[in-house]
Chains A and B, each alone.
Chain A
C-alpha cells in the first residue's frame, strides 16, 4: 500500500511541488485586502489548494494511462483504489495541516484564529472529505475528462435551473429550501452543542468516504483500462 503512495509521490513530485507552493502562498494572498477575512474563508481556501494536490496526481495518472502499468505490478485493484483514498487524505490533509501551521508564524494570520477556529477547521475537513469522496469514484468510473465534463455539466445544470427558477418565479422556493436546510443544521447545532455537531459532521464525512471507497473498489474491479 505504501509503495503505491510512495510511487505517486515520486512520480508526481513536480506537480506536488508546484501546487504545494501555491498553497503555501494562500495566507499571504488573503492578507492583501485591508479587512482581514473570517478564518473559515482562510481555512477553506487553504483546503481547496491542498485538495488540488491529490486530484492533480490522479489526473496525471489518468492522462498518461499509467494505470495499465500500475495494474501490471504485483498489486491488486483493491490496493490501487485504497491507495488513492489513503494517499488523498495523507497528501491533502498533511499539507493542509502543514500550511496552516506555517501560517501561524505570521502574527497577522495568527490573529485570524481568534474567532471561530473550531468551525473553520470543521469546514476545512468537510470540504476535504467531500472532495475526495466525490472525485475519486468519478475519475475511476469516467476518467479525468469525465470529471471535468461532470463539473461543467453541473454548472450548466445549475444555471439552467437558476434561469428556470427566475422565469417561473420559483426563486423564492429555492431560497426557502436553502434557508430551511440552513435552519435545520442551525437548530441541530444548537440542540447537540458544538462538540456533538463536530462529531456528527466528522462521522458523516467518514461514512461518505467509506461508501465512496466501497463503491470505487466495486467499479474499479471490472473497469477496462
Chain B
C-alpha cells in the first residue's frame, strides 16, 4: 500500500527553529505521533505538511502530491485541526459548519450533526465562546464530516484535562479502525503516544532523534542502570544514550539482548518508558 504521507529530508528555517533533515512515512490506517518540547519544530513540520509554508529543501508528498500546490481533489482528502484558534470565531458552530461544508463535495451534514451531538457541542454557541477542548472537538467534527483520509492535528491535547485527552485518543484509534484513514498529531506530552500511536517521532531542536514503531521502543529497547563500571558500555553499537546518574550511569540500549551482558552485579535492566527514551536518547556520558 502506498504511504499517505512521505516526508523526505526536509529543511526549513522558520520561526525560531530550523528543521534539519526530517524524514517520515505514514502508511494508511495508522497513527503517528510527533512529540517534542516547545520550539522543537512540531508546528513547523505540521505546517509544511499542510502546505502553509514551503520547504527550503527536500520533498513532501501527501497522497503523492506536493501539499503546497496540490489541487482540490487531494486537499479534500485531508482533515486538519490547527492549534491556533481559527479566526472565524464570531460565527456560531452551525454557521461555521455550513461555511466549511461549502468547500467539500462529499460533506456529510447528517454525520456532522451527529458528531456535534456526540461531542455535546452547542450548535448556536459562538465558536469563540467554546473551551479549548470543545474547539478541538469542533475541528475534529469538521474534519470527520468530509471523510478525510488523513487527519492532521496540531497539538490537540495541549491544555486538555486527562479525561478529555483519553477520550480524544480513543476517538483517534476508532478513526483509523477502518484501515484506510491515518492520523498524524503533534504533542508536548510523551505519554500521549503510550497507547494508541503506531509510530513515534521525537523532535528535538528541529531534528528527528527517533522515528519508528513505538512498540520497538517499549518492547525491544532497554535501560541499564548501574555503577561507574557501566562507562565501559559507552562505545557499544546498541547504545543510544548514556547519562551520569547519582550511582553511576543510566544507559539506553536499542536492543535488550545487547543490554543483558552489562547487567551483571548490581546493575538493573528495565524496560524504558517513552520519557526515559526521550531524556536519554543522544545524551553523552560527559553531560
Is A73 part of the contact surface with B, judged by Cβ < 8 Å?
yes
**A73 and B69 in contact (CB under 8 A), knowing A64-B87, A65-B87?**
no
Q: B54 touching A222 by the CB < 8 A rule?
A: yes
Is B147 part of the contact surface with A, judged by Cβ < 8 Å?
no
Bound together, the chains give a CA A3 to CA B255 distance in angstroms of 55
Q: B54 touching A68 by the CB < 8 A rule?
A: no
User: At the interface with chain A, which of B75-83, B179-187, B256-264?
Assistant: B75-83
Measured between beta carbons, the chain B residues less than 8 angstroms from A76 are 69-72, 75
Q: A72 touching B78 by the CB < 8 A rule?
A: yes
**A69 and B72 in contact (CB under 8 A), knowing A6-B102, A224-B52?**
no
Measured between beta carbons, the chain A residues less than 8 angstroms from B86 are 66, 69
Q: What are 24 of the A-B contact pairs (CB < 8 Å)?
A: A3-B103, A6-B102, A11-B88, A11-B99, A64-B87, A65-B87, A66-B86, A68-B47, A68-B52, A68-B84, A69-B82, A71-B52, A73-B75, A74-B72, A74-B76, A74-B78, A74-B103, A75-B72, A76-B72, A221-B69, A222-B54, A224-B14, A224-B52, A224-B53
Given A68-B52, A71-B51, list of 7 further CB < 8 A pairs? A7-B102, A65-B84, A66-B87, A68-B47, A75-B103, A76-B75, A224-B53
Chain B at the A interface: SS class: loop
Chain B, interface size category, equals: 20 to 34
In the assembled complex, the CB of B88 is this many whole angstroms from the nearest CB of chain A, namely 6
Bound together, the chains give a CA A7 to CA B98 distance in angstroms of 10
Measured between beta carbons, the chain A residues less than 8 angstroms from B73 are 74
In the assembled complex, the CB of A195 is this many whole angstroms from the nearest CB of chain B, namely 42
Is A10 part of the contact surface with B, judged by Cβ < 8 Å?
yes
Bound together, the chains give a CA A77 to CA B71 distance in angstroms of 9
**A75 and B52 in contact (CB under 8 A), knowing A66-B88, A69-B86?**
no
**A10 and B54 in contact (CB under 8 A), knowing A69-B87, A72-B78, A74-B76?**
no
Bound together, the chains give a CA A74 to CA B78 distance in angstroms of 8
> Can you list, as one digit per residue, whether each of B133-159 has a CB less than 8 Å from chain A (1) or not (0)?
000000000000000000000000000
Closest A residue to B54 by beta carbon equals: A222
Measured between beta carbons, the chain B residues less than 8 angstroms from A61 are 87
Bound together, the chains give a CA A72 to CA B102 distance in angstroms of 14
Bound together, the chains give a CA A221 to CA B72 distance in angstroms of 15
Is A225 part of the contact surface with B, judged by Cβ < 8 Å?
yes
Measured between beta carbons, the chain A residues less than 8 angstroms from B196 are none
In the assembled complex, the CB of A196 is this many whole angstroms from the nearest CB of chain B, namely 43
Closest A residue to B146 by beta carbon equals: A74
Residue of B47, B69, B82 touching A77 (CB-CB under 8 A): B69
